[in-house]
Copies of this chain bind each other. A is one copy, B any other.
Amino acid sequence: MTQEFATAQDVEDAFYDALEEGDAERLRNVWESSDEIVCLLPMQPMLHGAEVHEAFRPLTSGEIRLDIQVRHIRWLEAGDLAIHFVEERVSFSGNPPQPPVYALNIYRKGAAGWRLLTHQNSPTPLPPGSGPPPGMATP
């Protein structure tokens, strides 16, 4: 049974809910059913298609419980694509939250409604006093 999403925001809500619930089927259903999906996490290889679902498996194994706070930063919409910049604060199994990370989620509207097309995380700046920020090493 697949859920249909009327808006990109509905997909985003379902994505983070499924992660918090560790619900593998629901998590898989938020993604577009295609080889074009992309997941990019810092220092990890870029993942495509079925690799994406594989990568999320540890988060739905029941061993880790996630609590995710999402803060919306910027939305861009054009036609059948929606681009959401958010900030995530994630706690694992009741521990204090990890440093916040930026996430860029891109949604696409297809025959089956809106679905998640790409998910990308980026580290945020170090907190003040924890050392000099790295230079602008690459354009």
Q: How far is the CB of A59 from chain B (nearest CB, A)?
A: 6
A66 interface contact, C-beta 8 A: yes
List of B residues within 8 angstroms of A80 by Cβ: 78-79
Q: Which of B55, B133, B139 contacts A19 (CB 8 A)?
A: B139
Q: Contacts A40-B122, A83-B106, A139-B68: A46 and B19 contacting too (C-beta < 8 A)?
A: no
> How many copies of the shown chain assemble into the complex?
2
- What is the number of residues of chain A that contact chain B, defined by CB distance less than 8 Å? 50
Contact of A136 among B44, B83, B101 (CB under 8 A): B44
Chain A positions within 8 Å of B, measured between CB atoms, are 19, 36, 38, 40-46, 48, 55-56, 58-59, 66, 68, 73-74, 76, 78-81, 83, 85, 88, 90, 98, 101-102, 104, 106, 108, 117-126, 133-134, 136-139
